[in-house]
A and B are shown apart, each in its own frame.
Chain A
Amino acid sequence: MTEKTNFVEIRHAQKSFGTLEVLKDISLTVERGQIVGIIGSSGSGKSTLLRAINDLDPLTGGEIWLDGVQVNKQLPHRQYEKHINEMRQHVGMVFQHFNLFPHMTARENVTMAPMLLKKISKEEANKLAEEQLENVGMLERIDYYPSQLSGGQKQRVAIARALAMKPKLMLFDEATSALDPELVEEVNQVMKNLAEQHMTMIIVTHEMDFAASVCDRVLFMDKGVVVEEGPPEVIFKTPTKDRTREFLRKHIEGAK
């Protein structure tokens, strides 16, 4: 396990459902503290790639490495479960539809996993919840149930829940796509704060302005391949590939 790898390294990722190839030989590295945006139309494979990183959608070929450890190791079922549960504790994930636990308050959503998996005490857990919810501006709603929160508030709690496990890497799967336009900014702000704290993030998004403003690097995916990647100034202003240009033209027109 002493092989030199980047912080996140995806090697020849391949994924197919039957005869449908969703990811075709994708390789990608992310350095610690880097923020990578993935853009592309729906069906391009961008969410599948993101979900492969914590093995929510297991790859059918290729390797994923995080901080020197292979995520998708070949192990017998029981050992693999143990390994993947351990790996996932280091990777926070934020979903389009929040997926907060509706039978738990904001506090309980945040403290459940640390209490169960890290065996921290109730006092420590409460302190953690207050700290994490304060960071996302949700401290005053700490004892509210998800059903009592707006979409933007739910997503902020979901981010706090993921951060409470002290992940090394955060994955965002269209975190603002399900929000009313006026609620997008509050979630984006939380993500920007995280960026300032040098959290390593991989962000699948439809929001080009946001990607341009926070990402160090942007990937444009289409039909299971990375068509073009580079700094946002290049991707958004002077893309070299026709497909990228076409996507951006449609997308920016569509937004107007």
Chain B
Amino acid sequence: MDFELMLKVYPFFLEAAWITVLLSILTAILGLTCGALGAAARLSRFAGLRFVGAAYVSVFRGTPALIQLFILYFGGPQIGIQLDAFEAGVIGLGINAGAYMTETIRGAIIAIDKGQREAARTLGLSQWQAMYRIILPQSARLMVRPLGVNINALIKATALVAAISVVELTYTAQRYIGSTYKPFEMFLLAGVLYMIIIYVVGRGIAWLDRKVQIT
């Protein structure tokens, strides 16, 4: 194994890792937003909205994320959507992650005993007041861990955007293989950096989970 080479190229990998981190953060924000909206639609009293929510989930969970990225990035210009690779990566992965998060959030909301909503409504709280004062604070505790699993998955999914030429960690590894012919070292380096990112995020989620459980 060529350690010397790894030491030499690792600053460039570190730079690429920041792109992966940035991509992950933006994707997570977009995913959580889509997930919250998706869950609201799935739980709406309007059948039309419920249908839209269910269709969103089944379409984006039912097709490979890579195909979704390709449609958006390569197919987009054909229907008038011009995005650079990074934008397409964030939007494509964010909407994809949102489909999974929709189910996570919805699951955490419907897991709360219906007596909670009934007790809130009998006191005179509106549907919305019951939701944000009584249901959501309890669901939030149930959501942290599974959303952490979703976020873990989306960080790893950011590797897919290498296929639409976003210069992140996986793309960088591939590029250096082209010039060094050392795929073992290059992919290993990328893998270690992914692991560090995921470890740090995992600790963050565990901390958040402990924090919401106590109060």
Contacts and interface: CB of A to CB of B under 8 A. Distances in A.
Given A99-B116, A99-B118, A165 B134 contact: no
Interface string A99-120: 1111100000000110011000
Contacts of A116: 125, 129, 133
A28 B125 CA distance: 27
Interface residues on A, range: 20 to 34
A116 B215 CA distance: 21
B126 interface: yes
A97 B126 contact: no
A56 B121 contact: yes
Given A112-B133, A116-B129, A116-B133, A99 B123 contact: no
B113 to A, nearest CB: 8
Interface string A68-105: 00000000000001000110110111010101111100
B119 A95 contact: yes
B118 A81 contact: no
A120 B121 CA distance: 19
Residue of B118, B121, B123, B137 most packed against chain A (CB within 10 A) = B123
Contacts, number: 59
Tell me the dominant secondary structure on chain B's binding face: helix
A117 B116 CA distance: 17
A165 B133 contact: no
B115 A99 contact: yes
Contacts of B122: 54, 56, 88, 91-93, 162
Interface residues of B, number: 20
A125 to B, nearest CB: 14
Contacts of B118: 56, 95, 99
Contact of A117 (B125, B134, B138, B141): B125
Interface of B: 113, 115-116, 118-127, 129, 133-134, 137-138, 141, 215
Interface of A: 54, 56, 81, 85-86, 88-89, 91-93, 95, 97, 99-103, 112-113, 116-117, 158, 161-162, 165
Given A95-B118, A158-B119, 11 more contacts: A54-B122, A97-B113, A97-B115, A99-B116, A103-B137, A103-B215, A113-B123, A116-B125, A117-B123, A162-B122, A162-B123
23 contacts: A56-B118, A81-B126, A85-B126, A86-B124, A88-B121, A89-B124, A95-B115, A95-B119, A97-B113, A97-B115, A99-B115, A99-B116, A100-B119, A101-B116, A101-B138, A103-B137, A103-B141, A112-B123, A113-B124, A117-B125, A162-B122, A165-B123, A165-B124
